[in-house]
Structure 1
Amino acid sequence: MKRVFLFLALCVIGASADDFRYEPDWDSIRSRYQVPDWFRDAKFGIFIHWGPYAVPAYMSEKYAPGMYDPGWNKGDMNAFRHHQETYGDPSEFGYKDFIPMFKAEKFDAAAWARLFKKAGARYVVPVAEHHDGFAMYASKHTRWNVKNMGPKKDTMRLLADAVRAEGMKFGASSHFALNRIYYKTTEPDWDTNDPQYADLYWYPRDKDSKPDQEFLDLWWKRTTDIIDSYQPDLLWFDYGLDKPGWESVHKKILAYYYNQGLEWNKGVVFQDKNMKYHCFPEDVIVLDIERGRMSEIYKYPWQTDTSVGKISWGYIENEEYKTADYLLDELIDIVSKNGCLLLNIGPKADGTIPPEAEAILLSMGEWMNINGEALFDTRPWKIYGEGPTKVNKGHHSEKHNEDAGYKDIRFTAKDDVLYATALGWPKNGKFLIKSLAKKNPHESRRIKSVQFVSGKNHLRWKQTRKGLELNVRGKKPCEAAYVFKVEFM
């Protein structure tokens, strides 16, 4: 009889452990949650800003509020003036009128997924809904969605299936929290003041007001709809969720999503910018830094989100594109500091990816085909690197960063192997890694071997008191950066 009771007790204990559920409490979440290894291994993902704002293709993805605001400028671009001249006054042609023009007639989810795979991406995160209020998925809670209007097909489902078929993880981003204060309502005859369109533009509100319960409930329904319908491996939130008035949903949505991950039996990732109010403890989420980086190794996994373009996140006709060289240097630096890079592209309204963006992705993929072992599945070393070029820390700091050079070395580690990646090529092919000098403070073991990963060039090396001296013969074998694989005795 005692054995029966003991068996039943053990069954109850086992069931309790298996039935664990997160409570909307930081301690409960902290007690169990860990960032899954798939994310820590992934290093590189693709972000996609795509929506009706791709139709005017002017100024930025924030054309929507700009067309109602005479004072909204992006450099020398003014969306209000452009709209008046091109489409007419907002009383005659509002943002809603772009939606029928957003047809995505050339959208090919499988082609997108193949491109992202070739680029080296391991996860893909399309914008599920931007501040504009138009749902880029088959929403159950708004008529303004991609299944009912515009393309009239669930582009999110098509992309999710295609991405997963290529072996990549699929995420979704929500920017909807700012919808309620996104549009100006200055003129009474604008459609932003028409009650029949309030379910797109929301009701007139003071910009500094807090969300009322009606909007909080709508946000909850729309967000959990995305979670339940598409089972995203990663859920990304824009900074609107950090504003005052959203405190009641922070613990609740985190617990809800993590519990769904338990139901799906997979590790999920929740990302937030924590830009001003730091609403989420950074040991229970993945911190995202917009157009910026960390200056040192961060103790928790983190992420940079930036774009191939310098001006906009969505497609615009006069975009200024970054180079693949610059973006690879950025990726390498981020990975050396325990981060991942989520790189954005903005497709056109017809569903095609701009050739400039495609060329950048393919170029990055070519580099990673050769050198990817120094990035994927690695972890930070004892120091992130060395060199004269310093990186500014924090959101929107990338514009202050200088281009790196061959003296800038970044380190990653995998098992007992150290990878040292130089972010440039010296004319004479000679590199010096000072951090690996004899009797350096980081590694007491002697170097056994050094391999040149980036090409078949002949390599000579020696470890001296100055550092690890490397002499690579011949021309540089690739662009951007050069990887050395170091093993110790």
Structure 2
Amino acid sequence: MNHRSDCTRIVATVSLFLSAAVAGWGGGAGGAPAGGDAFRYEEDFEQIRAHYRVPDWFRDAKFGIFLHWGPYAVPAYSSEKYPKGIFDPKWQKGGMVPYTYHREHYGDPSVFGYKDFIPMFKAERFDAEAWVRLFKEAGARYVVPVAEHHDGFAMYNSHHTRWNVVNMGPKKDTMRMLADACRKAGLKFGVSSHYALNRIYYKRTDPAWDTNDPRYFDLYWKPVPEDSLPSQEFLDHWWDRTTDIIDQYEPDLIWFDFGFDKPGFEPLHLKTLAYYYNKGLEWGKEVVFQDKNMKYHRFPEDVIVLDIERGRMDQIYPYPWQTDTSVGRISWGYIENEQYKSADYLLDELIDIVSKNGCLLLNIGPKADGTIPAPAEAILREMGAWLKVNGEAIYGTRPWKIHGEGPTRVERGHHSEKRNAEAGPRDIRFTTRGDTLYAIALGWPEDGRFRIESLALGNPWEARPVGQVEYLGGRSTVRWRQADDGLHLAIDAGESGAAAYAFRIHFEPDNGDRTGDEGGATTEKRKGQSR
């Protein structure tokens, strides 16, 4: 990598980042508005921009758990959009066609519709505290369960629909149980809303299907053209359900899916944002509002946290942001034949995201009985083991002057992860805390020697010479040398096999006294070679 050739490309981003992301923008510290006790957020982006700041708890957390759980876990086939698929012969996921599968295993939707899975969704083995213990072991700092998905079933004690987890299925407030367990364990608790798409989610091709039965319109919604705008009735119902979630569970974070960005919801965008931020003031909480801006750009990205679905940024972003992705490549909800990613892959993704000023919200899909699938549990434990040792380079850090170096390029944007190659040992990512720089190599080099080109002598990022290098991941001492072609590092071969290799780097004042040797110019502190 030619780090000098990248200088021009990112100088504008670095400048903006330093002025906004590091120094903060607007308001007081940690999300507290500079307006006094009587302050209220107004339905005005400029007024919100002047006072709101993403709280430090979110910027420090880096890693959260997303939970897609609902009656769609009962068939455990294709994806969480199984409810949609049983009414649409053209819909498929991962080569799986719910329309055909449902008829073969359950019957025609005129006899057995999606609603009929709800009594089978019992969550009889659900243990909120056991879930939270696993999430803490994984290294997560916040948890975001789906409050209601496109299917219309409320995974909370809704006051506005009978189709909820207290009245039906598990017949217990699993949302409250999870919220209490998270807060007891010191984790931040959020919720997600996907309900905006419910009104056009289900097809009604056959008059005999239960999607056309008025008795079930409060689950499936009333028949409307797919290209229609939401009615005032639906907007009011959406508002009632959303504020019910906010008021009951006082979430530290609320996340909205792309349906909320669709045309027709404009009257609710600022209204919802101001309502939630003002609730945060009432609760004495520093809250986070997340939206995708996927197709329609509804929210300025300096007044919320932008969320990118199954994708990332390609460089440092000036404002805190988030990736949401899943442990599985096919589905968000539990399915029996999921294709799971490796913990190594997900850790590399986390490291890359953090180096660019982001956080990772990693989804798992629990089973209908309330247990976590064994492959997902194993992934979380493996990630947690790495973070337990190397978390110093992740939690509470901020981006450096550049996010990293290496040959593997990351494409920016929603649903870009399938086009991004896996990282390797030449891919280095940087984070920083105070005056300490962390360099994380995303693989083990074949010769066992790491080289960080961005820290070559005379590099444009740091004039001071390297004074000390330590390896976080084990007891191996680091043999290092700073030269014209980079910072050379070597650790014992026995350290190979980790997902990534994190180094703590300290700089010393540049006194200009440097010497050379047969390997090129080096810093004067040659003793670093034998450390």
Q: Are the aligned partners of 1:42 and 1:340 in contact in 2 as well (CA < 8 Å)?
A: yes
Question: In the alignment, what sits opposite 1:184?
Answer: 203
Question: In the alignment, what sits opposite 2:480?
Answer: 461
**TM alignment of 1:436-447, pairs within 5 A:** 436-447=455-466
Greater displacement, 464-473 / 417-426: 464-473
* TM-score of the two chains, using structure 1 as the length reference: 0.96
Q: Are the aligned partners of 2:444 and 2:496 in contact in 1 as well (CA < 8 Å)?
A: no
Q: Are the aligned partners of 1:335 and 1:412 in contact in 2 as well (CA < 8 Å)?
A: yes
- Which residue, out of 67, 90, 95, partners 2:114? 95
Residues 77-117 of structure 1 show CA distances to partners (whole Å, capped at 9, x for unaligned) of 11010000000000000100000000000000000000000
Question: In the alignment, what sits opposite 2:5?
Answer: none
**TM alignment of 1:38-437, pairs within 5 A:** 38-437=57-456
- Cα 1:445–1:16 shift into 2, 3 Å: closer
Question: In the alignment, what sits opposite 2:515?
Answer: none
Structure 1 CA distance, aligned partners of 2:49 and 2:200? 33
Counterpart secondary structure, 1:91: coil
Counterpart secondary structure, 2:480: strand
Structure 2 CA distance, aligned partners of 1:240 and 1:299? 26
Greater displacement, 475-484 / 369-378: 475-484
* TM-score of the two chains, using structure 2 as the length reference: 0.89
Q: Deviation at 1:426?
A: 1.4
Q: Deviation at 1:325?
A: 0.2
The one-letter code of the counterpart of 2:236 is: D
The one-letter code of the counterpart of 2:190 is: G
- Residue 22 (structure 1) aligned with residue 32 (structure 2): no
The one-letter code of the counterpart of 1:85 is: E
Structure 1 CA distance, aligned partners of 2:83 and 2:498? 39
Structure 2 CA distance, aligned partners of 1:56 and 1:433? 49
Structure 1 CA distance, aligned partners of 2:212 and 2:222? 7
Counterpart secondary structure, 1:76: coil
Question: In the alignment, what sits opposite 2:12?
Answer: none
Counterpart secondary structure, 2:88: coil
Question: In the alignment, what sits opposite 1:10?
Answer: none
Q: Deviation at 1:476?
A: 1.9
Structure 2 CA distance, aligned partners of 1:478 and 1:453? 14
**Aligned residues: percent identity?**
71
Question: In the alignment, what sits opposite 2:498?
Answer: 479
Q: Deviation at 1:139?
A: 0.4
The one-letter code of the counterpart of 1:316 is: I
Residues 182-220 of structure 1 show CA distances to partners (whole Å, capped at 9, x for unaligned) of 000111110000001000000001111000000000000
Q: Are the aligned partners of 2:455 and 2:487 in contact in 1 as well (CA < 8 Å)?
A: yes
Q: Are the aligned partners of 1:454 and 1:477 in contact in 2 as well (CA < 8 Å)?
A: no
Structure 1 CA distance, aligned partners of 2:447 and 2:476? 13
Greater displacement, 420-429 / 139-148: 420-429
Question: In the alignment, what sits opposite 2:26?
Answer: none
Q: Are the aligned partners of 1:454 and 1:478 in contact in 2 as well (CA < 8 Å)?
A: no
Q: Are the aligned partners of 2:444 and 2:497 in contact in 1 as well (CA < 8 Å)?
A: no
Question: In the alignment, what sits opposite 1:4?
Answer: none
Structure 2 CA distance, aligned partners of 1:471 and 1:253? 53
Q: Deviation at 1:16?
A: 7.0
Structure 2 CA distance, aligned partners of 1:373 and 1:233? 24
Residues 292-347 of structure 1 show CA distances to partners (whole Å, capped at 9, x for unaligned) of 00001000000000000000000000000000000000000000000000000000
Structure 1 CA distance, aligned partners of 2:194 and 2:388? 34
Residues 47-86 of structure 1 show CA distances to partners (whole Å, capped at 9, x for unaligned) of 0000000000001000001001111111321101000000
Structure 1 CA distance, aligned partners of 2:496 and 2:162? 53
Residues 382-436 of structure 1 show CA distances to partners (whole Å, capped at 9, x for unaligned) of 0000000000110000001111111000000001000000000113320000000
Q: Are the aligned partners of 2:329 and 2:341 in contact in 1 as well (CA < 8 Å)?
A: yes
The one-letter code of the counterpart of 2:228 is: S
Residues 239-259 of structure 1 show CA distances to partners (whole Å, capped at 9, x for unaligned) of 000100000000000000000
Q: Are the aligned partners of 1:271 and 1:288 in contact in 2 as well (CA < 8 Å)?
A: yes
Residues 149-175 of structure 1 show CA distances to partners (whole Å, capped at 9, x for unaligned) of 000000000000001111110000000
Structure 2 CA distance, aligned partners of 1:158 and 1:75? 33
Counterpart secondary structure, 1:17: coil
Structure 1 CA distance, aligned partners of 2:283 and 2:409? 42
The one-letter code of the counterpart of 2:262 is: K
Structure 1 CA distance, aligned partners of 2:496 and 2:183? 33
Q: Are the aligned partners of 2:118 and 2:169 in contact in 1 as well (CA < 8 Å)?
A: yes
Q: Are the aligned partners of 2:470 and 2:477 in contact in 1 as well (CA < 8 Å)?
A: no
Structure 1 CA distance, aligned partners of 2:189 and 2:233? 30
Q: Are the aligned partners of 1:453 and 1:484 in contact in 2 as well (CA < 8 Å)?
A: yes
Q: Deviation at 1:478?
A: 5.1
Structure 1 CA distance, aligned partners of 2:35 and 2:494? 63
Q: Deviation at 1:457?
A: 1.2
The one-letter code of the counterpart of 2:99 is: F
For the aligned residues, what is the CA RMSD? Answer: 0.9
Q: Deviation at 1:131?
A: 0.3
Q: Deviation at 1:270?
A: 0.3
Residues 237-285 of structure 1 show CA distances to partners (whole Å, capped at 9, x for unaligned) of 0000010000000000000000000011111000000011100111100
The one-letter code of the counterpart of 1:383 is: I
Q: Are the aligned partners of 1:44 and 1:121 in contact in 2 as well (CA < 8 Å)?
A: yes
